[in-house]
Amino acid sequence: MDPSARVYSRFNLRLYDLVVLVISNKWAWRCPTSSTLVPFFHKDLGERAHLDVGVGTGYYTAKSAHNLAKTENVTLLDLNEATLSTASSRLRQAGYRGTIDEIHHNVFHPLPDHLHGKFDSVSLFYLLHCLPGSMVDKGPKVFATLGVALRPDGVLYGATILGRGPGVAHNWLGRRLMGLYNKKGIFGNADDALDDLKNALEGRFEDVEVKLVGVVALFEARRPKTG
């Protein structure tokens, strides 16, 4: 298993919310979870079916249980079975009553046919910066894979920590975490830049919006290109 997926052991998952969502998001990446990322996650949730990719502890979907009340299906996709079971259980405990599907899958590989055209919304929060390779390489592959999962009026959206480029200025804590995580293979974002992300999205979608909060890019993409 890739180091970026292997790090999410059941023990580490217990620490994830504190270390990443409370401390790192506020102090290192300067993109607060409660005031920025959670509202952004809620903003584009679909009403029929939602696909969450790279599920972590299931924090965002669990925090969205009320917003997902009318959503018939939530599908969780990840390379790590521990994160899938954790996120699924957490969403159910938060009160979600629809169906929950768990898909153990590598996002670089084509999706199963039964997922094509199924979802109103696809979220990928803090996935891209964990994947190996440059944004120029991994971005188009991931967006091509996930774009086919959308309904014609659907939206793909998410957040990723950038490594460099105009507007990306890491503070002392961020630089040290970036160096450590990239060295261990937990992150693969040392060369990820905003323009490369935007270009990768525009290569696959007709309508793209990207903004920077701290060193985190928040993106939305609609109308997948065909061919």
Q: Encoding tokens for residue 144?
A: 């091509």
- The domains found in the chain, sorted by start residue, are 3-224 (3.40.50.150)
Q: Encoding tokens for residue 200?
A: 């990768």
Looking at residue 7, its pLDDT comes to 47
Looking at residue 5, its pLDDT comes to 42
CA–CA gap between residue 50 and residue 75 (Å, rounded): 6
Indicate the burial class of 99 (C-beta count within 10 angstroms; 0-12, 13-18, 19 or more). Answer: exposed
- The type of residue at 130 is C
Looking at residue 184, its pLDDT comes to 92
pLDDT tens digit at each of 227 positions of the chain: 444 444 444 545 567 788 888 899 999 999 999 999 999 999 999 989 999 999 989 999 999 999 999 999 999 999 989 899 999 999 999 999 999 999 999 999 999 999 999 999 999 999 999 999 999 999 999 999 999 999 999 999 999 999 999 999 999 999 999 999 999 999 999 999 999 999 999 999 999 999 999 999 999 999 998 76
Query: Is residue 132 classed as helix, strand or coil in its secondary structure?
Result: coil
CA–CA gap between residue 204 and residue 224 (Å, rounded): 6
Looking at residue 227, its pLDDT comes to 62
Q: How far is CA 136 from the centre of its chain?
A: 17
